[in-house]
Chains A and B, each alone.
Chain A
Amino acid sequence: EAQVTQNPRYLITVTGKKLTVTCSQNMNHEYMSWYRQDPGLGLRQIYYSMNVEVTDKGDVPEGYKVSRKEKRNFPLILESPSPNQTSLYFCASTSATSSTDTQYFGPGTRLTVL
């Protein structure tokens, strides 16, 4: 089944404790991205990647890192999480080399930073 998976689905952590949220897709998609969703603000893009070893900042990249060592994986790293990073995070992928086509979303990771 074609899908985007994220882990963990729920995470409660404390300020400053490094964490990684994994994202994997099995559709051989070129383009992957991370979004955060906050009430009243919709989805805001954090980082995106057009291909292996190619990443770029989205609209709200501060406090986040990503890597794209393999085509299928696109982990999101929070080196020193802070309470303002409490949010619902989504990974997405698309077959196009840009965002011009349908995006497939993962189920989301709900992160709470205390």
Chain B
Amino acid sequence: SQQGEEDPQALSIQEGENATMNCSYKTSINNLQWYRQNSGRGLVHLILIRSNEREKHSGRLRVTLDTSKKSSSLLITASRAADTASYFCATDPINDYKLSFGAGTTVTVRA
């Protein structure tokens, strides 16, 4: 079952701008992960945030997690053309052994 849902489905921004995408989920989780996928290629792990964490940074990425609202956001600052990709959130539900992925947000960064 698809637990995570990303919003928006697609996003187009100018190089240098920030990109923000959101993920909502339904059940309690151990952690939430964000992945990037360049067109037709394998997913690459970006960041993992655990249920007891509220914010995490990695380079130009900032992830927040609000377990009371069952939502997370991924912010990419100072975007570059190379950030053009699809971004997926994946939730690790409590008492389950499988990650559940959303349908993704497609980000296009215009030069």
Contact = CB atoms under 8 A, between A and B. Distances in A.
Interface residues of A, number: 29
Residue of A4, A48, A103 with most chain B CB atoms under a 10 A cut-off? A103
Contact of B103 (A42, A48, A107): A42
Given A42-B101, A45-B98, A102 B45 contact: yes
B59 interface: no
A-side interface mostly = strand
B29 to A, nearest CB: 10
Chain B interface category by residue count: 20 to 34
Contacts of B2: 41-42, 44
Interface stretch (A12-20, A67-75, A78-86, A93-101): A93-101
A41 B103 contact: yes
B48 A33 contact: no
B1 interface: yes
Given A98-B97, A99-B98, A107-B42, A43 B92 contact: no
Interface in B28-43: 30-31, 33, 35, 40-43
Nearest to A91: B42
A41 B83 CA distance: 22
**Closest A-B pairs by Cβ, 5 of them:** A105-B42, A42-B103, A43-B101, A99-B99, A105-B43
Interface of B: 1-2, 30-31, 33, 35, 40-45, 48, 88, 90, 92, 97-104
28 contacts: A33-B98, A41-B2, A41-B103, A43-B43, A43-B90, A43-B101, A48-B97, A50-B97, A59-B1, A59-B98, A59-B100, A90-B42, A90-B43, A92-B43, A99-B98, A101-B48, A102-B33, A102-B45, A102-B48, A103-B33, A103-B43, A103-B90, A104-B45, A105-B35, A105-B42, A105-B43, A105-B44, A108-B40
